[in-house]
Amino acid sequence: MKYFVMVQGSQADYDAMAGKPSDSSPAWNEQDVQAMFAFMEGLNNELVESGELLDGQGLAEPARTRAVLPPGKDGRPVVSDGPGDRDEVRIAGYWVLDCASLERVTEIAARIAQCPQPADAPVHPVLIRPVMDDGSELAAATA
């Protein structure tokens, strides 16, 4: 079964990783950032070796977000740039995994949740969502 696994972060978290603290996120130093990257690289390498990793990417900071909403009163789509609230949590990165069971992908998510970060940094959940390959999951959910 395929699963979409997401880690989350806010613009304040990205700023903190660049060394700029806020009320909600302490500044990261170079060692903190390198420890996070080394952890993620090791995990990704293991997932490649096990054949479970189909795709995975870190995402650019929320400040580089563009939102396109349904048309406004003038009939044109409403477009906005930026994160809105800098403390709003958004997807920061993802993996698409092919795992034998929900238990297995939960084990992987638990490891992701152990990624090193500075003390007092915000803790965000790691989210798991099944990927609907053929629509059968949707049919079962609506039955």
pLDDT by residue, tens only, the chain of 143 residues: 999 999 999 999 999 999 999 998 999 999 999 999 999 999 999 999 999 999 999 999 999 999 899 999 999 999 988 767 878 899 999 999 999 999 999 999 999 999 999 999 999 999 999 999 876 655 555 55
DSSP letter at 62 equals: G
Tell me the CATH class for 2-62+90-134. alpha beta
Based on its alpha-carbon atoms, the radius of gyration of the chain, rounded to whole angstroms, reads: 18
pTM of the complete model beyond 0.85 = yes
The domain segmentation of the chain, as residue ranges, is: 2-62+90-134
Task: Sort strands 2-9 and 127-130 into parallel, antiparallel or unpaired.
Answer: antiparallel
Work out whether strand 127-130 and strand 77-81 pair parallel, antiparallel, or are unpaired. unpaired
